[in-house]
Amino acid sequence: MRTLDDLGDLTGKRVFVRVDFNVPLKDGVIGDDARIRAALPTLEELRRRGARLLLAAHLGRPKGRDLDFSLAPIAARLTELLKTDVTLAADLDQVPNDDAVVMLENVRFEPGETKDDEELAKKYASLADAYVNDAFGAAHRAHASTHAIAKLLPSAAGLLLQREVETLTGILADPERPLVAIVGGAKVTDKIGVLEAFLSKADTILIGGAMQFPFFKAQGHQVGASLCEAEGIAPAERVLAEAQDGQVRLPVDIVAGEAFDASTPVTEIDGVDVPEGLMGLDVGPKTAAAYAEVIASAGTIFWNGPMGAFELEPFAAGTRSVAEAVAKASGTTVVGGGDSAAALRQFGLEDQVTHLSTGGGASLELIEGKTLPGVEVLG
């Protein structure tokens, strides 16, 4: 994978930088600017090398040009972080030539962006002398600004993209042992590729979240009204059948409620059978303590997916316990973006892990061994 050093002298050159600024935005207010801050090292390094920046990013999934998805608030926040004016170009025909930092309006306003359109990529390329992809969170998509343009200009990975790829591939290629994978979330089918990858790599796989219930269903347990993905039962059976003895650990107790609501009465179940009328919403204290013990002794830890409905305070304890254990662990700790990253931030622990990925889907696909188009094209 080509890096910034492969681009040579950038003095006075315009560099088209694909960044991942797909941040939570409500009524023009940014809810979390972590992805913007994660891009700063690359942007500052390019500026140090004398480059003028043309930034490209997407926000949400707009249907055509919809100013509810405008990048104006992101440009304003980046102006504060970079301490220099960031000019927002309304469209590709209104890009200033001399401004030090220009941001294109949401690239998904362009109809050919998600189709990896070559003509659109040519328009992008005509505006710059070189291309840098630092948008790891979008690297698993073959879009015009992540893939097609890289074939038209001298191209390289930014510092963030480089670190993401090297870290995530490294924990599978040469991890310190024991390697512990913590896999949670809602659906087994979303994580089956990750589970299968870790069956051949990890010493222990800890399961949590709603995806535990297809495993329990496969074992003949009652799941009550819990979220239990029917399509996940067969893959769960396969994982259990292929696992080494003791390799896959499931919860031993559950915290349940009558509804997905913070005000619902809380019921602690010593066991994993959930009565009718109740839904499992968190792992129980025995599970949390057992998982924390495994995490503490790990040499390498990968975590993706919460242990329960951590956004509801009565059902946040399991995820909090895992997050604290990961933060305290002495081994290498890699958190694979998405809800796990949100949980770390909620508990104030985001700075206490070795690597916090900015890409949920991209990190999972890389762990699964899939080729990321936005990375492959930089090879």
Of the residues 187, 201, 238, 345, which is catalytic?
A: 187
pTM of the model: 0.92
pLDDT value at residue 338:
79
pLDDT value at residue 59:
97
b/e code 284-323 from CB counts within 10 Å (16+ = b): beebbebbbebbeebebbbbbbbbbbbebebbbbbbbbbb
Active site residue 338: yes
pLDDT value at residue 285:
98
- The domains found in the chain, sorted by start residue, are 4-161 (3.40.50.1260), 175-368 (3.40.50.1260)
Q: Please answer whether residues 73 and 25 qualify as being in contact, where contact means their C-beta atoms are separated by less than 8 angstroms.
A: yes
CB count, 10 Å around CB of 377?
Answer: 20
Strands 25-26 and 29-30: antiparallel
| Residue 165 φ then ψ, to 5° | -65, -45
pLDDT value at residue 227:
96
Q: Please answer whether residues 210 and 228 qualify as being in contact, where contact means their C-beta atoms are separated by less than 8 angstroms.
A: yes
Which of 92, 94, 99 lies closest to 113 in space, CA to CA?
A: 92
Two tokens at 47?
């500026």
Q: How far is residue 322's CA from residue 289's CA, in Å, rounded to a whole number?
A: 9
Which of 123, 121, 102, 115 lies closest to 15 in space, CA to CA?
A: 102
β-pair partners for 268: 255
| Residue 304 φ then ψ, to 5° | -145, 115
Active site residue 185: no
Of the residues 14, 18, 35, 163, which is catalytic?
A: 35
Active site residue 187: yes
Identify the segments of the chain with pLDDT beneath 70: none
Which string of DSSP letters, residue by residue, matches 12-61? T-EEEEE------EETTEES--HHHHHTHHHHHHHHHTT-EEEEE---S-
pLDDT value at residue 221:
98
Of the residues 338, 359, 360, 374, which is catalytic?
A: 338
Contacts of 36 (CB under 8 A, 6+ apart): 21, 23, 30, 74, 77, 78, 81
CB count, 10 Å around CB of 370?
Answer: 13
